[in-house]
Chains A and B, each alone.
Chain A
Amino acid sequence: MTALLSAEWTRLAATRLWLWGLLAALASGGLVGLLALVGPENFNPPMPGLDTEQGTRVLLGLLGFTVFAPALLGTVAVAAEHRHRTITTSTLFAPRRWTWLAAKLAVYTGAGLVYGVAASAVAGGALFGAAALKGVTLGLPVSTVLALLGRIALTMAVYTLLGVAVGALLRNQVAALAVVGAYFYMIETTLMLIPGVKLIYPWLPGGATSALTGFTYLADAVADQTGGSATALLSAPAGAAVLVGYALVAIAIAVAAPLRRDVA
C-alpha cells in the first residue's frame, strides 16, 4: 500500500494540479480577507460589522461556501485517469483495483486537508489582520474563530474525498464535474423548495455541511421564505459523521463498480 500511496503522490506532484489547488486555496482565503478589509458594514446592502458576531460569521460562512472547490479538484484528478487512458496501465500494475483507488482516496483526502488548512490559515490571518487594521475586535472569541476555521478545513478534506469518489464513479470528467457543481449550486437548494424535504435537510450533504461548519444561512433563508421555523441542524460531530457516511457510500460504490467494469 505504501508503494501505491507514493505512486499516487508522485502522480499528483508531477502535474500542475497541486499548484492550481494551492492557488485556489490561497485565493479563497484571500477573498475572505479582502471582504474583511472592505468591511461587512460597507457591503451593499450593509451587514453587521466585523466587531459583531454576525459580521464575523458572515465572512467565515463565505469561506464555507468555497468547499466545493477542493471537491472539484478531487473529481478532476481521478476522472483524468479515464480521460487520458492511464487507467489501463494503472489497472495492470494493481489488478486488485480497489487498492489503488483506496490509495488515491487517501492521498487526495490528505491533499484536501492541506487545501483546507491553507485556505483557513489565509482567511484567519486576513480576518485578524483586517480587524487589527481597523482597530476593532472580532465579534467572536478567538478560540471560536479558530474552531470554526478548523471545522471548515476538515469539511474541505471530506469534500475532496467526496469529489474523488464521484470522479471514480462517473469516469467522464465533464459529467463528473457537472454533477458535483450542479449539486452544490442548484440541486440541493431547489430540493429545499419541496415541502417536506426541509425535514430531511439536516441529513443532506448541504445540511450536514452547515452543521459541521456552523453556518445556517441557507436553512434560515428557506425558513424565512416558506414562513416556517428554521430546521434544527445536527450537532457538528453528527454533521461530520453524516458527510463521512456519504463519502463512504460513494467510495463503496466507486470501489465495487470498477471491479465489474471492463477497462477498454
Chain B
Amino acid sequence: MNIEVRGLTKTYGTVTAVSDLSFDVPPGAVTAFLGPNGAGKTTTMRMMLGLVTPTAGTALFGGRRYADLPAPSATVGAALDGAGFHPAHTARDHLRVYARMGRYGTARADRVAELTGVSAFAGRLTRALSTGMRQRLNLATALLGDPRVLLLDEPGNGLDPEGTAWLRRFLRELAAEGRTVLVSSHVLGEVEHLADHAVVIRQGRLVSTGPIGELYGPATVLVRSPEAERLARGLARDGVLVEPGPPGALRVHGLDAAEVAAAATALGVALHEITSERPTLEQAFLHLTGGSR
C-alpha cells in the first residue's frame, strides 16, 4: 500500500507550518522523512492521520483518507511524538486498552509486547518508563493491528545505541515484509543506514525526494598539514576546490581521501591528518537547496 501526499498545507493564522507539500511513499521500503526541528514533520504526519485538519491538500493510503479506511488502525500504525500514556496504567494495561479498542485481543497485545521488547517492563507503571521504553511502547501500540503502513515520528529519540541498532533491524524487517514504512528524523546519521528513500523538508516546504544516497552531494576531505598553504596552492592549480578548515587544515571538495593523499605525495607535502567528512544534514540541506559552499 503506497502513500500519496498531495498539496498538504497548514496555516495557523499568518504562520504557514506546511506549504503545498507533495510526495509519495512506496511499499516494501523504509522512507526517511527528514527536516530540522520545526520543519513541519509532526504537523504533516498529524495531517496525514486526520488529527490535524489540513488547510488544503490530501494524504491518501491506498487511495483513501485515514478516517475513511475500513479498518484504520489495522491498516496504518502510527507512533507519534506527542502521544502519551495514562501514568496509572502499566505498559500492559495501555496495550490492552487499545487492543480492545481495535478488537485485536489480549494475545495480540502480549505478542507486540514481545516483538518490541515491551514484555521486559510490561508490569511497570507508564509514569516510571524511560524515554526509550516509551518509544518501544508507542511502537508496540502502532503494531497492534499488524498494519501494512507504519508512520513513526522520531522513533529513535531516547534510544540507547543498542536500541537504535535494534530499531534499524526491526524496521528493515518490516519493510522487507512488504510494508510501507515512513520514519521522521531530524538527524541524518540516524536514518542513513536504515532508509532507502528520503523526503526532505525545510520550513514546511519540500526540499528533495529520492534515494537517500543522493542527499549528500560530493564528500569533502579534511587535511591537516604543516605545509597546508603549499598543498592548497598545488590542488588549486589542478582546479580542485579548496577552502580553509580549522587552523592548519584544509577542506578539499571533489576528491576522495586516496586522491588527496596521492596529490600530497606528488607535491612532497607531509600530512598529519586526512579525514573523509560525512556531510551533516545541514550540509546536505545546503547542497540540496543550492547553497553549497
Which B residues from 73 to 109 make CB contacts under 8 A with A?
Answer: 73, 78, 80, 82-90, 93, 96-98, 100-103
CB <8 Å contact, B100 and A6: yes
- Counting CB contacts under 8 A, is B52 at the interface? yes
CA–CA, A90 and B94, complex, Å: 11
CA–CA, A11 and B101, complex, Å: 10
Query: For residue B85, which residues in chain A have a CB less than 8 angstroms away from its CB?
Result: 84, 86
Please tell me which stretch of A26-34, A65-73, A91-99, A198-206 contacts chain B, meaning at least 4 of its Cβ atoms lie within 8 angstroms of it. Answer: A91-99
Closest to A17 in B: B88
Question: Can you report 20 residue pairs joining A to B where beta carbons are below 8 Å apart?
Answer: A3-B100, A3-B101, A3-B103, A17-B88, A84-B85, A89-B83, A90-B101, A91-B50, A91-B51, A93-B102, A95-B50, A95-B67, A95-B72, A260-B53, A262-B51, A262-B53, A263-B51, A263-B52, A264-B51, A264-B82
Partner pick for A10 among B51, B53, B96, CB 8 A cutoff: B96
- Counting CB contacts under 8 A, is A223 at the interface? no
Q: For residue B215, give the distance in angstroms from its CB to the closest CB of chain A.
A: 30
Partner pick for A264 among B46, B78, B103, CB 8 A cutoff: B46
- Interface of A, secondary structure class, is helix
- Counting CB contacts under 8 A, is B66 at the interface? yes
CB <8 Å contact, B83 and A88: yes
- Please list the residues of chain A having a beta carbon within 8 angstroms of any beta carbon in chain B: 3-4, 6-7, 10-11, 14-17, 80, 84-86, 88-96, 100, 260, 262-264
CB <8 Å contact, B88 and A15: yes
CB <8 Å contact, A93 and B83: no
Range of interface residues on B (Cβ < 8 Å)? 20 to 34
Closest to A80 in B: B86
8 further A-B pairs in the complex, CB-CB below 8 A; given A10-B97, A86-B83, A89-B98: A11-B86, A11-B93, A84-B87, A91-B50, A93-B101, A96-B67, A100-B101, A263-B52
- Counting CB contacts under 8 A, is B49 at the interface? yes
CB <8 Å contact, A14 and B98: no
CA–CA, A84 and B86, complex, Å: 6
Closest to A15 in B: B88
CA–CA, A17 and B52, complex, Å: 31
Query: For residue B52, which residues in chain A have a CB less than 8 angstroms away from its CB?
Result: 262-264
